[in-house]
Chain A
Amino acid sequence: MTDTQAVTLNAVALYGLALLLAAAFAAQLLLHELPCPLCLLQRILFALLAIGPILNIRFGPRPSHYALSLLTAVLGASVSTRQVLLHILPGDAGYGSALLGYHYYTWALIGFIAAIVLLAAILLFDRQFDHRAAPGTSPGKFAQGAVWLVVGLTALNVLSTLLECGFAACADNPIVYELLKQAS
């Protein structure tokens, strides 16, 4: 795999993360289910996963950039495992609605484990680290679009979380947007 192909793959990964963040937003808005603190932390870690690919697109693929994403994915898997264990006992209905049979945190655990496996797999291709094909050239529109999409969705999450939690600690089982409640 050349460095150019690796950059394209990183852009595809960013679109995947954007899709995931958008799906979480859609569930929040369409089902009127507000994310709990651990759910928010999992969203945060999915957004943090994007830093590695953005650095790869801008500066070229480096093992250290993949390491950032690996560290994030391991922490994300830990957080989602904790939430799965909180609801694992028989009779527990879980938190929120299930999507295709699994709750959001179970999908998050699958996503973080998939990220760890994919990151390990892409690290197998040493040729991407040999050199940058054309140093100084700006990334193409496909990669630029991926970066701005993820930045935009993260900015929307800033707004959504501010509305949900206000300026205090977030509720364990949120049912209303605290900031809107205070305003009305």
Chain B
Amino acid sequence: MEFTALFLAIAIAMLAAWRGPRQVAIGLFALILVACVATFLHHATDRLTLSF
């Protein structure tokens, strides 16, 4: 569900960048980037069995 919302938010941000005010597009971009980081951290819980 969160991925559908992220794709939708990006489509809206693209339209804002193309037709709307610049600040709105950049604000939306910032929100989406933070949401992507949060989604990544949520899905990065599997332990990596690596040793260096």
Contact = CB atoms under 8 A, between A and B. Distances in A.
B48 A48 contact: no
Interface in B1-48: 1-4, 6-8, 10-11, 13-15, 17-18, 22, 25-26, 29, 32-33, 36-37, 39-40, 43-44, 46, 48
Interface string A157-180: 110011001111110000000000
Nearest to A139: B18
A58 B18 contact: yes
A72 interface: yes
B17 A44 contact: no
Interface residues of A, number: 41
Contacts of A170: 1-3
B43 A75 contact: no
Given A54-B14, A58-B17, A158-B11, 7 more contacts: A37-B3, A41-B39, A82-B40, A151-B14, A161-B4, A165-B3, A165-B4
Interface in A139-159: 147, 150-151, 154-155, 157-158
A85 B52 CA distance: 12
Given A48-B10, A75-B33, A55 B1 contact: no
A47 B9 CA distance: 11
Interface of B: 1-4, 6-8, 10-11, 13-15, 17-18, 22, 25-26, 29, 32-33, 36-37, 39-40, 43-44, 46, 48-50
Nearest to A69: B29
A51 B29 contact: yes
B46 to A, nearest CB: 7
Contact of B11 (A71, A82, A151, A166): A151
Contacts of B14: 47, 50-51, 54, 147, 150-151, 154
